[in-house]
């Protein structure tokens, strides 16, 4: 019998000022980690080693780990995976910063969604795939060389502005083509649903390369009336022996104080609860 995954919560879901009270309450119910979008804590320039260490210590005092980063290119201007050489060099420079932040938090995965910064634009699909494979390998090598987390490549459907690697199958093909431990598959129930896929099949196909997972509703909505197939996702994760985290991703709602605990309880019931990180 496989161990249920540990559950984390994205810091996109609540105001930063309310984190101590909210997270203490959820940790008492079994929340094990927080997925960090760095710019929810401050501008990129403020994410110094000392600031990261201090925030990590605050979470650790609540018994919470930081398994992952997300929104890793938010606010990073002039960077592009498939753009000209200068734009790609700027992307690599930014990823050095992300790697340092991830290492400081002890995160294992940095989720790479970022549809705008990886857009293929007018590039034909085959050319975009070949260039993407070359450049994602360089990015993966950099992240590992810098001691940072692996990149978790996320399918981003057209509904979220994606035009490159929109489906789970395309992401899996890219990860297999790159064939580097610094690039893994990340799946998201909302992204797979909006991309026309079936999450259970996506999990089973990607199992050897799957390193991180988001429990999410379309448009990052609340979990009051879930439409994503969380039961199917949980069954496939258990069947394949998934050993990573399930992170709840949702936007901050006006009623976040009620919506966030409700989402955690819904996800905990659907996916089970692994041992808390201590």
- Give the tens place of pLDDT for each residue, 240-266: 999 999 999 999 999 999 999 999 999
> Is 278 within the bounds of a domain?
no
Tell whether the model's pLDDT for residue 275 goes beyond 90.
no
Quick check: 257 and 13 in contact, CB under 8 A?
A: no
Close Cβ partners of 140 (under 8 Å, ≥ 6 residues apart): 150, 151, 178, 180, 181, 182, 183
pTM of the model: 0.95
Average pLDDT over residues 88-102: 98
Average pLDDT over residues 73-84: 96
Measured between alpha carbons, how far is 82 from 271 in angstroms, rounded to an integer?
36
Measured between alpha carbons, how far is 79 from 87 in angstroms, rounded to an integer?
5
Measured between alpha carbons, how far is 14 from 34 in angstroms, rounded to an integer?
11
> Is 243 within the bounds of a domain?
yes
What distance, in Å, lies between the first and last C-alpha atoms of the chain? 23
Q: Which residue has the higher pLDDT, 227 or 277?
A: 227
* pLDDT at 3 (0 to 100): 82
CA 131 to chain centre: 23
Average pLDDT over residues 107-119: 97
126-144 tens-digit pLDDT:
999 999 999 999 999 999 9
* pLDDT at 16 (0 to 100): 93
> Is 218 within the bounds of a domain?
yes
Tell whether the model's pLDDT for residue 276 goes beyond 70.
no
* pLDDT at 278 (0 to 100): 29
Domain of 184, in residue numbers: 6-271
Task: Name the token pair of 118.
Answer: 């990886």
> Is 264 within the bounds of a domain?
yes
Q: How far is CA 49 from CA 33, 44, 108, 174, in A?
A: 20, 12, 17, 32
Average pLDDT over residues 201-228: 97
Beta strand 109-112 with 150-153: parallel, antiparallel or unpaired? parallel
Q: Domain tally for the chain?
A: 1
> Is 112 within the bounds of a domain?
yes
Mean pLDDT across the chain: 96
> Is 217 within the bounds of a domain?
yes
* pLDDT at 274 (0 to 100): 53
Is residue 277 very low, low, confident or very high in pLDDT (cuts 50, 70, 90)? very low
> Percentage of the chain with pLDDT > 70?
97
Tell whether the model's pLDDT for residue 67 goes beyond 80.
yes
> Is 225 within the bounds of a domain?
yes
CATH code of residue 150: 3.20.20.150
Give the SS3 label for residue 73.
Answer: coil
For Cα atoms 78, 218, 256, give the angle at the middle one, nearest 5 degrees. Answer: 90
């Amino acid at each position: 019998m496989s161990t249920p995954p540990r559950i984390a919560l994205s810091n996109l879901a609540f105001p930063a000022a309310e984190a101590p009270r909210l997270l203490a309450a959820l940790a008492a119910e079994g929340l094990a980690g927080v997925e960090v979008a760095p710019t929810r804590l401050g501008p990129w320039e403020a994410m110094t080693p000392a600031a990261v260490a201090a925030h990590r210590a605050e979470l650790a005092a609540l018994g919470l780990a930081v398994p992952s980063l997300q929104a890793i290119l938010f606010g990073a201007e002039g960077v592009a995976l498939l753009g000209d050489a200068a734009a790609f060099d700027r992307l690599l420079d930014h990823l050095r910063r992300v790697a340092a932040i991830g290492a400081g938090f002890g995160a294992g995965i940095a989720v790479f969604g970022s549809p705008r910064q990886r857009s293929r634009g007018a590039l034909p699909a085959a050319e975009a795939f070949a260039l993407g494979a070359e450049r994602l390998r360089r990015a993966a090598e950099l992240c590992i060389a810098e001691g940072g987390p692996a990149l978790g490549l996320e399918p981003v459907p057209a509904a979220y502005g994606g035009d490159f690697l929109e489906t789970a199958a395309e992401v899996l093909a890219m990860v297999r083509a790159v064939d580097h431990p610094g690039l893994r598959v990340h799946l998201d129930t909302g992204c797979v649903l909006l991309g026309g896929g079936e999450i259970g099949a996506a999990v089973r196909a990607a199992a050897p390369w799957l390193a991180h997972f988001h429990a999410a509703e379309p448009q990052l909505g609340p979990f009051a009336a879930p439409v994503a197939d969380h039961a199917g996702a949980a069954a496939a994760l258990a069947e394949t022996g998934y050993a990573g985290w399930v992170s709840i991703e949702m936007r901050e709602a006006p009623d976040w104080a009620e919506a966030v605990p409700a989402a955690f309880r819904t996800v905990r019931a659907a996916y089970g609860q692994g041992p808390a990180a201590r």
